[in-house]
Amino acid sequence: MSDFDDKFNKDSKFGERFPPLKCSFCGKDETQVSRLIAGPGVFICNECVRLCDEILEDEVFFPSKTELDDPGEKNLLSPVEIKAELDKYVIGQDLAKKTLAVSVYNHYKRVFSPLDIDPDDDVELSKSNILMLGPTGSGKTLLAQTLAKILDVPFAISDATALTEAGYVGEDVENILLRLIQNADYDIEEAQQGIIYIDEIDKITRRSDNPSITRDVSGEGVQQSLLKIIESTVANVPPQGGRKHPHQDFLQIDT
C-alpha cells in the first residue's frame, strides 16, 4: 500500500479504520500477496489464480457430449451402449461382445483425448489391436462389421491369404491401408480413425519346415510388413495401388 493509504487507515481524523481486503479463497490479506483481483463481492489473489491454473492443466478432460457431436468428432458410446447395439445384430458371443465394447471404448477415448495435441505434455497415446480367435462361422467377421457400422467409421476387410511380399504376384500389405482410405473417400483423417479387419491371419505364420524348395512369399516377409502397421507407423500408400515407384506420389497415413 502507498504511504497515503497507510496514513488513511491509521489516522483517526479520516474516520474509522478500514479493514484490509482479503482473498476469499485462501484468506490472505492484500499485504501478503502481490495482486488482489476484485469481483462482485469476492476477491482472489494471484497465488490462488496460479494454483487454479495448475489444477486445470493437470486435470484430464475428455470431450463432452456436445463436443463429440461435432462433425469432426465421433459419437463416443459407452461400453454398455456398444454392447446393447451389438446385441441387436449378433446373437450370443456375450463375452466377445463385452470385450470388444470395452476395448473400442478405451481406444477411441485415447484417440479423442486432448493429451495427444498438447505440446507441453510428454504423454504418448498408442492405439490398440484386438486378436479374435474362433472356428469358422462363429461370427468374428460379423462382429467386426457390426462394430464399424455402430461407430460409423471406415471399415476394411482384407484376406491375409492373398498378401505377399513386395515384388511378388499378389497384394502388398499397403493395399490394406489403400482399401481403408478408399472407403473413407480419401479422407486421411477419417481413415486414421477407421478399423481394419485382417481375416485368416493365422495363414501367414512362418513355415520353418516348409517342404517346398521355393520361397515362402506369403509367410515371414508378410509378417514383418504387417508388424510395422500393427505397431503404428506412418505408411506411404500409392494412391492407385500396385507397386511403388521412386518418383510416385504417395498418401501418408498414420496407422
Domain identity same for 108 and 159: no
User: What gap in Å lies between CA 96 and CA 137, rounded to an integer?
Assistant: 14
User: What gap in Å lies between CA 20 and CA 38, rounded to an integer?
Assistant: 13
- Please give the pLDDT value at position 45: 92
Domain identity same for 158 and 247: yes
Read off the DSSP letter of residue 126.
Answer: -
Residue numbers of the domain that contains 238: 153-255
Helix (H, G, I), strand (E, B) or coil at 45: strand
Alpha helices in 19-167 (DSSP H): 46-58, 65-68, 79-89, 94-112, 140-151
What type of residue sits at position 178? L
Domain count, the chain: 3
Domain identity same for 84 and 46: no
List beta partners, residue 49.
Answer: none
Domain identity same for 240 and 222: yes
Domain identity same for 234 and 186: yes
* Other beta carbons less than 10 A from residue 62's beta carbon: 13
Tell which of 148, 166, 183 closes a domain.
148
Domain identity same for 32 and 67: no
- The grid coordinates of residue 155 equal 471399415
Read off the DSSP letter of residue 191.
Answer: H
Q: Are 255 and 198 in contact (CB under 8 A)?
A: no
Low pLDDT (below 70) residues in the chain: 1-18, 58-75, 110-127, 165-171, 202-222, 239-248, 255
- Please give the pLDDT value at position 165: 65
Helix (H, G, I), strand (E, B) or coil at 236: strand
Cα dist. 6→23, 31, 193 in Å?
A: 19, 11, 64
Domain identity same for 158 and 219: yes
Cα dist. 8→20, 33, 252 in Å?
A: 12, 20, 71
Cell numbers 459419437 correspond to: 75
Cα atoms found within 13 Å of the Cα of residue 15, Cβ hemisphere only: 3
User: What gap in Å lies between CA 98 and CA 66, rounded to an integer?
Assistant: 26
The pTM of the full predicted model, rounded to 2 decimals, is: 0.54
* CATH code of the domain covering residue 195: 3.40.50.300
- Please give the pLDDT value at position 241: 60
Domain identity same for 99 and 170: no
Domain identity same for 157 and 244: yes
- Please give the pLDDT value at position 93: 83
